[in-house]
């Protein structure tokens, strides 16, 4: 007998802003936004029957313990080396092959506007030290046309934590080329990467490069325009956010649909934003079961800089959770529709 599918919850106003969250991977599966008398689906999702969490592309999932790449799938903490489970060549990506995206989370609180999901991660999980109790809270703020996602964790010994949402946005609602959107990112620096997508020694000023997104511009379409774009096949880079974003009163990013009828503002207290233009989505299937085209959605992932656990300056930005303290991070997406 096959297992019953993991539960899902619909939150918000059935006639207004409404989202759907699933227990598998604490996945954000749907976000329907009122636009000109109708509603527009602005998130990519996999089919409910897809056996791979997020279709193998983390689509909509919460990733952790630590989002993005950890070089060599190892780090040192307290004078001890910790060997992680690698799942991207010799590196670990998004918490390992059995990371938080691959687990069924448990609901501990459900209302018409919110759901709170928890997950226990035992000591040694994917190679990480210490036991961890993770929590993700989704809440729809209908009055502000916003979705709030709060991440928190409690641990029994120091351990790195940097959960985030791997949702893919397409504000046109049709999975057409997301590079037609206009994007602004409040960041004067971007992290260049090596051939294995691990950050190089230091940040690169965005001025004078295709990574200068400080004013809203279409996403780059010519990978040959910069060696870093060629290396990743498009955007797949961490932007170091302006310090003013940390209070979540200034948007870290702003996105506008190609048709100009819908915009989104992203607020976060994380110091970094991974911008991924979805060039490898051709390996995934959408909610209708069909293979997705390249650039069908844009992932804006608030997080710590990649490989922060091995970089003292970045680790100090708040990567380590400590016993007796609740580790917290947040993101908020506000939608602005024409008319």
User: Known catalytic residues?
Assistant: 166, 301
User: Are 60 and 21 spatial neighbours (Cβ–Cβ below 8 Å)?
Assistant: no
User: Are 39 and 32 spatial neighbours (Cβ–Cβ below 8 Å)?
Assistant: yes
223 phi/psi in degrees, rounded to 5: -65, -20
SS (HEC) of 201-244: CCCEECCCCCCCCCCCEECCCCHHHCHHHHHHCCCEEEEEECHH
Nearest alpha-carbon partner for 46 in 179, 167, 155:
167
Question: CA angle, corner 143, sides to 34 and 252, nearest 5?
Answer: 80
d(CA 214, CA 206): 9
Nearest alpha-carbon partner for 247 in 229, 268, 266:
268
Q: Which residues pair with 137 in a beta bridge?
A: 116, 150
Nearest alpha-carbon partner for 86 in 69, 102, 100, 63:
69
Tell me the two tokens of residue 17.
Answer: 């802003």
């Amino acid at each position: 007998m096959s297992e019953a599918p993991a539960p899902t919850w619909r939150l918000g106003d059935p006639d207004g802003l409404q989202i759907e969250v699933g227990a598998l991977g604490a996945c954000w599966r749907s976000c329907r936004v009122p636009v000109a008398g109708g509603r527009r689906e602005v998130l990519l999702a996999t089919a409910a029957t897809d056996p791979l969490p997020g279709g193998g592309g983390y689509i909509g999932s919460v990733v952790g313990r630590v989002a993005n790449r950890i070089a060599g799938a190892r780090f040192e903490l307290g004078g001890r080396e910790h060997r992680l489970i690698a799942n991207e060549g010799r590196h670990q990506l998004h918490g390992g092959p059995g990371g938080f995206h691959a687990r069924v989370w448990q609901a501990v609180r459900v209302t018409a506007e919110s759901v709170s999901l928890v997950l226990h991660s035992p000591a040694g999980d994917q190679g990480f030290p210490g036991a961890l109790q993770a929590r993700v809270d989704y809440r729809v703020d209908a009055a502000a046309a916003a979705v709030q996602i709060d991440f928190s964790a409690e641990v029994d010994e120091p351990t790195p934590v940097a959960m985030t949402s791997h949702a893919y946005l397409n504000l046109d609602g049709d999975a057409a080329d997301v590079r037609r959107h206009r994007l602004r990112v409040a960041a004067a620096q971007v992290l260049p990467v090596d051939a294995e997508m691990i950050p190089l020694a230091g940040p690169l000023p965005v001025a004078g490069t295709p990574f200068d997104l400080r004013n809203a511009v279409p996403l780059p379409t010519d990978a040959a325009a910069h060696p870093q774009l060629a290396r990743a096949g498009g955007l797949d880079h961490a932007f170091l956010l302006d310090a003013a974003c940390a209070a979540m009163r200034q948007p870290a990013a702003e996105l506008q649909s190609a048709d100009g009828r819908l915009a989104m503002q992203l607020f976060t207290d994380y110091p970094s934003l991974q911008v991924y233009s979805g060039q490898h989505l051709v390996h995934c299937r959408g909610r209708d079961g069909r293979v997705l085209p390249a650039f069908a959605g844009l992932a804006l992932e608030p997080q710590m800089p990649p490989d922060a656990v091995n970089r003292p300056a970045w680790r100090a930005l708040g990567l380590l959770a400590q016993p007796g303290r609740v580790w917290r991070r947040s993101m908020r997406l506000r939608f602005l529709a024409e008319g």
